[in-house]
Amino acid sequence: MTGPALSSTATLRETMGSYYRSLGDADTAPVAWCSSVGPAELLRALGYRVFFPENHAAMLGAARTANRVMPIAHAQGYSQDICSYLTSDIGAYLAGETPLKAYGLTSVPRADVLVFNTNQCRDVRDWFEWYGRQWDVPVIGVRSPRSIDTVTDDDVEGVARQIEALVPTLEAVSGARLDGARLAQVVAISRECSHLWGACLGTAAARPAPFTFFDGTIQMGPAVVLRGMEEACAYYRSLLAELEERVRTRVAAVRGESLRLYWDGMPLWGRLRALATNFAEFGTAVVASTYCNSWIFPDLDADDPIRSMARASLNLFIARSEEPKEQYIERMVRQFDVDGIVFHDCRTCPNNSNTRYAMPQRLSKRLGIPSLVLDGDVNDLRCYSDEQGRTNIEGFVEQLADTRASRRGA
């Protein structure tokens, strides 16, 4: 059974609601669309209201409306096999649907400029270029290297120059000049937000864990859409205090926690509650994840804003090669003392699925713990079977219990 709800969630709703409503007031400031780990700090420093379409697509997935609108994008020539965030979002736009209607918006905010970073995948560029053609506005971005073994100074310099090259267009669209002091201030706020969010996630190393990966996918909202804004820091100070109090008083996110898991890959947005319930029924807490930790940026440095932004984007887990990814997961497994790893093989997101080149097998051998692969997708619910998923989870939990018993016997 799951434990009591976090009191901070009421404040989270207010914080996120205020952000979404501010997008409806965008006639007072230019609007920039930004990919989730794009140069948001640069945009904030230039006075843009920043919109993150991946967040919007995740809302469509969580509302379980994505499957109704994706066929509209498929009819435009976008394959069923590409990012279902992209096809959900474009399909919803063409259908005139958006979860932002709950906040008084009739549509996604019209961009004055769209800014991408391909450190995640090529899809964000294709996605933004579709809107660029619709609205006849500039689409600019960073073409980042991927599958990086070691991030070098040359890598950082190359990305930094691309970020600097964005400035003239962004200044022309906004009608403002970039203020170096303001950029440093925004980067400092992002760094603090990153630190606070990391500290919140770190509380799950305690036994019992005060919150889980499934809680984290909701609580991460400000870290994604309010990077560089004090509102995000204020929220995470409050959340961290509540989580630390839970650790002190041993309030568990999963009552009777007996097993602990690590989650690698994207969330299944339309099945988060069902999956949280499935794991909790077996006394199993999913205490850490690659996904939620992807918005922790220790490289950000107000004394060197542009290059630190470049380094942070290159050190992103999804941009790294197999060996540094495995080393990262190994550190997380040890930090959070987990009994097994769940890998989500996301059908339409191969760049954030680490199951297809034998990583689960290598890590199981390397760490001596079992792993489970769940087939699914971020938004396309046709890719996930509730019955099959539950059966696999139940069998995996039994395997974990047997493995742990064997270890104790040894």
Provide φ and ψ at 130, rounded to 5°: -60, -50
**261 residue type, one letter:** L
Provide φ and ψ at 208, rounded to 5°: -75, 155
Confidence of residue 403 (pLDDT cuts 50, 70, 90): confident
Residue 410 above 60 pLDDT? no
For the chain, the domains span: 16-178, 182-409
Provide φ and ψ at 113, rounded to 5°: -160, 150
The answer to whether residues 262 and 286 touch, using CB atoms and an 8 Å cutoff, is: yes
The yes-or-no answer to whether 16-178 and 182-409 have a common fold is yes
Pull the structure tokens for residue 391. Answer: 């059966």
User: Class for domain 16-178, per CATH?
Assistant: alpha beta
pLDDT at 3: 84
Confidence of residue 377 (pLDDT cuts 50, 70, 90): very high
Residue 241 above 60 pLDDT? yes
Residue 26 above 70 pLDDT? no
Q: Given 3.40.50.970, 2.60.120.200, 2.40.110.10, 3.40.50.11900, which CATH number is that of 182-409?
A: 3.40.50.11900
The Cα 62–Cα 145 span in angstroms is: 31
pLDDT tens digits for 303-334? 999 999 999 999 999 999 999 999 999 999 99
pLDDT at 375: 98
Model's pTM, two decimal places? Answer: 0.96
Indicate the helix (H) or strand (E) that contains 46.
none
